Chain A
Amino acid sequence: MSSSTLDSVDKPSACLLCEVPCGDCVRIDSRGLDPGEWALLRALGLSERATVRIAKAGDPCILQVRSTRIGVPAALAQRIWARQVKAGSTPAARAMA
């Protein structure tokens, strides 16, 4: 597996979605995804600004954004970069905590 932090990223909390434990909250971005995959994730509500809770880690990885639950296979979760949101740092994260 590739290293969990890109050298060029200046946000030390960035990691792959597959490495985020169950129950944590993150924000994801489009690096590592092709345009079609990112468009579908955005259409499902997983934008870069959305707070996403990891409802289940592993295969599939089940993500929760608001009341939507989305399953992504582990192979995709290994390509999605995420930045962990500190507990309580956003209203959504506080609500999900």
Chain B
Amino acid sequence: MILPTSQPDGTASPDAADARPGKGGAGPVVSSGGGGAPIRLALVGNPNTGKTSLFNHLCGLSAKTANFPGTTASLRRGRSSLLEAGGEPAAESGALSSVEVLDLPGLYSLGLDLPEARLVRSALDGSAVETPDAVVVVVDAANLPRNLRLVAEVLPYRLPTVVALNMMDLATRQGIHIDVNLLVEELGCPVVPIMARRGTGLEELRDALRRTLTAPLSPRPSVPEALAGLPPAGRGAAPEAAMDIREDWAEEVADRTAVSLPDDLDGPSWAERLDHLFTHPVWGLGVFGLVMTGLFWTLFQFATVPMDLIEASFGVLGGWVAQVVPEGPLQDFLVEGVVGGVAGTVVFLPQICLLFFLISLLEDTGYLARAAFVMDRLLRRFGLPGHAFVPLLSSHACALPGILSARLIPDRHDRLATILVAPFMSCSARLPVYVLLTGLLFADKPLWAGIAFAGCYVLGALVALASAAIFRKTLLKGPSRPMILELPTYKWPSLRTALIEAKDQGLSFLRKAGTVILGICMAMWWLSAYPETPPPPEAQTLRADAAAVRGADPARAEELEAYADLLSERSSEAGSFAGRIGRSIQPVFAPLGYDWQLTVGVLTSFAAREVFVSTMAVLLVGDSEADIEETGVLSQIRSARRDDGRPVFSFATSASLLIFFVLAMQCLPTLALTLRETGSWKWAALQLGYMTGVAYLAAFLVYQGLHLAGFS
């Protein structure tokens, strides 16, 4: 056996001194006493082999998503126990009770020049994260030759390796019988048949890992003779020749160890008929439209109740804080800054979690891969790849996870174009604004309001596509890489996987957006509350009048108090830092039909668009908690007047505002993420400037056009 003289990246030989047990010494990975750094286990495998299912079964809810050090790629880490179920813990089992499991990105070959391949190589050779103590290669039993090629690339890393032979049920249904004992001899490492979706075989897998981690490592794990001496995947003078050798080896091992019935080789014909339907240029688009309609209908139907519950709960919490904390700046800060800020973030959780739950279900069925080809035909016309479909779809919940999922797009220019246009997709934060403005535009015409509402989504998507086409022809010129995609087997989706994905995305949103939005809301509260302005004389007079009539006419007294509150709030807002800034900048927005109050609303929403509604409620109703969907509140806002007596929300102004909010970049967390994902201020600045410019121009044209047509 020829031992490699260097690590795959050319650093020192694995036999060089390394203090950690098992890394280069003769001892087992797990030393007696169990002390020291945690055991690390890496999961590697082709996409669609059930790696995520296995990871979820091993780690359950303990998984967290973090970044690969020094990169923007995400890595899931979790904790699992490898202790024997019900057995006495052995002396060296301390470390086995909590093993760190790394779910590495799925990949077809370590030799590809793609982000996921680079990441997995850096994980296995220890250049990005600490080298794992053992590797589990998850192999699709129904597709042995292709999966064994990846095993052939992993074995030369000489790490303790266990092969998890997954999807045994699928292989059996296809008439494939695998001689596992012979496969063990051929690979020189343990092979464990499992069915990850059902959790079958996991005890045997843990047992194999326990034995592997506690076995002495001298000599180091063997490499099959045919593969010994090959350069690492993707490197060396003749990578094609090395690929041929690995391919031949994989085919031979598969031929020797797996027997399959000829009639099942081409798969069930029903799958082919479904493929024809789902990728048909006409029927495929029809099916896609139906699926998306169903998805969004489900989203809006089922997310509303928890969103309302969250709003109500935070309302109760704010009320309780107001009772417990004495009136004053601290109470205002806690109620409006902190509670209001947290509520403003958490209220979007149901939509985000539910959308990702549904996307995960669709993906698990195998349909999304087919839909990606349907969308590829459409998106290619605008310079975007079919891969951009899921990021753009996700952006309808929130642009943050949408931009994050753009990491999977292989071509850099395609990825940048997707990131730049993703915020055009109408996200959850825009919904309250759409509800307010369409309600103002079409007061007693719910059908027209609904059409306008849907039109906002369509407009955002069309502008996104047009913008992508412009970017790909100018700043991001160059050919796009054609989309080559494996079409996974159709199967019933896993609820468990979908729930865990929804949980992960929800927590990620809270961490990334929550902290920023909370900070913004607190800053906005401060800008809107200070400097303190005494109530105007008119409000004082109204309060005196209310006191005078309280005994005789309590209802009238309440009306007078409410109007006095409104005048006080407006005066306070106008005199605040936010109000002063709004008045000074108002001339810029005058051509769009906005007065100083709307300008304040637009400015405050530049950091987070969802604060527009509460700003309007404060300015025009005098209560930041006012429910804009209540008829009474809506008519108060509709009847609000500018300083010159004209209505604040004329038809033309409302339409202009609506268009502005559809197209403007009003989300600081998204800008921050764009900066991080693109690695350059240039792209974040372009995104802000371009979207603001497009929104301003479109709103200007709409307002001036309607104004000239007499719709003021």
Partners in one complex: yes
- A residues with a Cβ closer than 8 A to B are 36-37, 39-45, 47, 49, 53, 55-56, 58-60, 62, 64, 66-73, 75-76, 92, 94-96
Contacting pair A67 B174 (CB below 8 A): yes
Contacting pair A62 B279 (CB below 8 A): yes
Distance of B253 from chain A, by nearest CB (Å): 14
Contacting pair A39 B109 (CB below 8 A): yes
Q: How large is the interface on B (under 10, 10 to 19, 20 to 34, 35 or more residues)?
A: 35 or more
Query: What residues of A have a CB within 8 angstroms of the CB of B279 in the complex?
Result: 56, 59-60, 62, 71
Contacting pair A69 B377 (CB below 8 A): no
Distance of A37 from chain B, by nearest CB (Å): 7
Contacting pair B267 A67 (CB below 8 A): yes
> In the bound complex, what is the Cα–Cα distance between A58 and B275 (angstroms)?
12
Contacting pair B376 A40 (CB below 8 A): no
> In the bound complex, what is the Cα–Cα distance between A73 and B484 (angstroms)?
7
Query: What residues of A have a CB within 8 angstroms of the CB of B483 in the complex?
Result: 71, 73
Which of B138-146, B189-197, B511-519 participates in binding chain A? B138-146
Known contacts A44-B486, A56-B272, A71-B487: does B112 contact A39 (CB below 8 Å)?
A: yes
1/0 per residue B244-270: CB within 8 Å of A?
000100000000000000110111000
> In the bound complex, what is the Cα–Cα distance between A36 and B482 (angstroms)?
11
Answer whether residue B415 sits at the interface, using C-beta atoms and an 8 A cutoff: no
> In the bound complex, what is the Cα–Cα distance between A68 and B489 (angstroms)?
9
> In the bound complex, what is the Cα–Cα distance between A56 and B267 (angstroms)?
13
Name the prevailing secondary structure of the A interface residues.
mixed
> In the bound complex, what is the Cα–Cα distance between A7 and B460 (angstroms)?
50
Known contacts A44-B146, A56-B272: does B109 contact A69 (CB below 8 Å)?
A: no
Q: Which residue of A lies closest to B142 (CB)?
A: A67
Query: What residues of B have a CB within 8 angstroms of the CB of A75 in the complex?
Result: 380, 482
Contacting pair A39 B262 (CB below 8 A): no
Contacting pair A92 B265 (CB below 8 A): yes
Contacting pair B266 A76 (CB below 8 A): no
Contacting pair B145 A45 (CB below 8 A): yes
Answer whether residue B320 sits at the interface, using C-beta atoms and an 8 A cutoff: no
List 15 contacting pairs A-B, 8 Å CB cutoff, sorted by A: A36-B112, A39-B109, A42-B243, A43-B109, A44-B146, A58-B281, A59-B377, A60-B373, A62-B487, A67-B265, A72-B484, A75-B482, A95-B262, A95-B265, A96-B265
Query: What residues of A have a CB within 8 angstroms of the CB of B112 in the complex?
Result: 36, 39-40, 43
Contacting pair A73 B376 (CB below 8 A): yes
Distance of B144 from chain A, by nearest CB (Å): 9
Query: What residues of A have a CB within 8 angstroms of the CB of B487 in the complex?
Result: 62, 69-71
Q: Which residue of A lies closest to B374 (CB)?
A: A60
Q: Which residue of A lies closest to B111 (CB)?
A: A39
Distance of A61 from chain B, by nearest CB (Å): 10
Answer whether residue B481 sits at the interface, using C-beta atoms and an 8 A cutoff: yes
User: Which parts of B531-576 form the interface with A (CB within 8 Å)?
Assistant: none
Query: What residues of A have a CB within 8 angstroms of the CB of B109 in the complex?
Result: 39, 42-43
> In the bound complex, what is the Cα–Cα distance between A52 and B227 (angstroms)?
26
Excluding A36-B481, A47-B247, A71-B485, 19 further A-B contacts by CB distance (< 8 Å) are A36-B113, A37-B482, A39-B109, A39-B112, A41-B484, A42-B109, A43-B149, A44-B108, A45-B145, A49-B247, A55-B266, A56-B275, A60-B373, A66-B145, A69-B271, A71-B279, A73-B373, A75-B380, A75-B482
Query: What residues of A have a CB within 8 angstroms of the CB of B266 in the complex?
Result: 53, 55, 64, 95-96
Contacting pair A70 B485 (CB below 8 A): yes
> In the bound complex, what is the Cα–Cα distance between A40 and B111 (angstroms)?
9
Q: Which residue of A lies closest to B262 (CB)?
A: A95
Query: What residues of B have a CB within 8 angstroms of the CB of A64 in the complex?
Result: 266-267
Query: What residues of B have a CB within 8 angstroms of the CB of A41 in the complex?
Result: 484
CB < 8 Å: which of A36, A43, A72, A76 contacts B108?
A43
> In the bound complex, what is the Cα–Cα distance between A94 and B486 (angstroms)?
24
> In the bound complex, what is the Cα–Cα distance between A64 and B267 (angstroms)?
9
CB < 8 Å: which of A47, A67, A94 contacts B143?
A67
Contacting pair B276 A56 (CB below 8 A): yes
Query: What residues of B have a CB within 8 angstroms of the CB of A55 in the complex?
Result: 266, 272, 275
Query: What residues of B have a CB within 8 angstroms of the CB of A67 in the complex?
Result: 142-143, 174, 265, 267
Contacting pair A68 B143 (CB below 8 A): yes
- B residues with a Cβ closer than 8 A to A are 108-109, 111-114, 142-143, 145-146, 149, 174, 243, 247, 262-263, 265-267, 271-272, 275-276, 279, 281, 369-370, 373, 376-377, 380, 386, 481-487
> In the bound complex, what is the Cα–Cα distance between A64 and B272 (angstroms)?
10
Q: Which residue of B lies closest to A34 (CB)?
A: B481
> In the bound complex, what is the Cα–Cα distance between A53 and B482 (angstroms)?
20
> In the bound complex, what is the Cα–Cα distance between A62 and B113 (angstroms)?
24
Distance of A31 from chain B, by nearest CB (Å): 14
Contacting pair B481 A66 (CB below 8 A): no
Q: Which residue of B lies closest to A92 (CB)?
A: B265
Distance of A70 from chain B, by nearest CB (Å): 5
Contacting pair A69 B482 (CB below 8 A): no
Contacting pair A68 B272 (CB below 8 A): no
Q: Which among A43, A53, A62, A73 has the greatest number of chain B C-beta atoms within 10 A?
A: A43
A-B pairs, 4 with minimum CB distance: A43-B108, A43-B109, A76-B482, A95-B262
Distance of A60 from chain B, by nearest CB (Å): 4
> In the bound complex, what is the Cα–Cα distance between A37 and B523 (angstroms)?
50
> In the bound complex, what is the Cα–Cα distance between A69 and B279 (angstroms)?
13
Distance of B414 from chain A, by nearest CB (Å): 14
CB < 8 Å: which of B111, B265, B275, B376 contacts A69?
B275
Query: What residues of B have a CB within 8 angstroms of the CB of A73 in the complex?
Result: 373, 376-377, 380, 386, 482-483
Distance of B285 from chain A, by nearest CB (Å): 12
Query: What residues of B have a CB within 8 angstroms of the CB of A62 in the complex?
Result: 275, 279, 487
Distance of B478 from chain A, by nearest CB (Å): 13
Contacting pair A69 B267 (CB below 8 A): yes
Known contacts A43-B108, A64-B267: does B243 contact A94 (CB below 8 Å)?
A: no
Q: Which among B113, B114, B146, B386 has the greatest number of chain A C-beta atoms within 10 A?
A: B146
Q: Which residue of A lies closest to B248 (CB)?
A: A49
Q: Which residue of B lies closest to A45 (CB)?
A: B146
Query: What residues of B have a CB within 8 angstroms of the CB of A47 in the complex?
Result: 247
> In the bound complex, what is the Cα–Cα distance between A12 and B236 (angstroms)?
36
Contacting pair B113 A66 (CB below 8 A): no
Query: What residues of A have a CB within 8 angstroms of the CB of B263 in the complex?
Result: 95
Query: What residues of A have a CB within 8 angstroms of the CB of B108 in the complex?
Result: 40, 43-44
Query: What residues of A have a CB within 8 angstroms of the CB of B265 in the complex?
Result: 66-67, 92, 95-96
Distance of B176 from chain A, by nearest CB (Å): 8
Distance of A89 from chain B, by nearest CB (Å): 15
Q: Which residue of A lies closest to B264 (CB)?
A: A67
Contacting pair B484 A40 (CB below 8 A): yes
CB < 8 Å: which of B262, B271, B276 contacts A94?
B262
Distance of A21 from chain B, by nearest CB (Å): 14
Query: What residues of B have a CB within 8 angstroms of the CB of A71 in the complex?
Result: 279, 369-370, 373, 483-487
